[in-house]
Amino acid sequence: MNNQNYYELYRQSSIGAALTDALDTLISDHRISPQLAMKILNNFDRVIAEVLSKNVDATLTFKGNLDTYRFCDEVWTFLLKNVKFKFQRQQEEVLAEKVKIVSCSSKKPGEV
């Protein structure tokens, strides 16, 4: 079994939040243990990262004003304002007032 740790970024997505809420309810109802809930969340972190990397091939470009950036613990965080997104297969632009981008290394421990 792979002992690689995965980032917990997708726990804040709508599906991750729904899973967390469901697990909290199951724990509160004494139907599962907190340890099992953590195993489920760790499995979710692994599976969603693998599925997205294999199955998503959409590309987009974006342009905006960089407000803030930081690099801490091998994680880049960018805060952008007035961002325009343009998807490769569409001519339509999507506008966003504020965008937060979090970028983490995809390399496995020990890879160069």
Q: State the DSSP string of 88-105.
A: TT---EEEEEEEEEEEE-
What is the average pLDDT score of the chain?
Answer: 88
Torsions phi, psi of 10, nearest 5?
A: -80, -5
pLDDT at 98 over 80: yes
Q: 57-77, pLDDT tens digit by residue? A: 888 899 999 999 999 888 899
Distance between CA atoms of residues 25 and 15, nearest Å: 15
Coil/strand/helix, residue 34: helix
Q: Exposed/middle/buried for 90, CB within 10 Å: 0-12, 13-18, 19+?
A: exposed
Residue (of 32, 33, 41) closest to 11 by Cα position:
41
pLDDT at 20 over 90: yes
pLDDT at 1 over 50: no
Torsions phi, psi of 20, nearest 5?
A: -60, -45
What structural domains does the chain harbor?
A: 9-55 (1.10.287.190), 60-104 (2.30.18.10)
